[in-house]
Amino acid sequence: MPDLGKYAEAVLWAYGVSLLLIAAIVVLSLWRGRRVRAEMEETEQHSDG
């Protein structure tokens, strides 16, 4: 861990919140994408049947 001195709080907050936001948009996008794909496949099966 580098010595961040008096700026430690600012730097760690910036990295923590930014990485959290990036992780959130990636996870939510993947989760919604999978759910929508499953719904579409189910609807396609219904319409084929």
Residues that bind another protein in the complex, under the rule CB under 8 A: 2-8, 10-11, 13-15, 17-18, 21-22, 24-26, 29-30, 32-33, 36-37, 39-40, 43-44, 46-47
3-state secondary structure of 13: helix
CB of 31: closest distance to another protein in angstroms?
A: 10
CB of 46: closest distance to another protein in angstroms?
A: 7
Contact 11, 4 (CB under 8 A): yes
Please give the span between the terminal C-alpha atoms of the chain, in angstroms, as a whole number. Answer: 60
CB of 32: closest distance to another protein in angstroms?
A: 6
DSSP 30: H
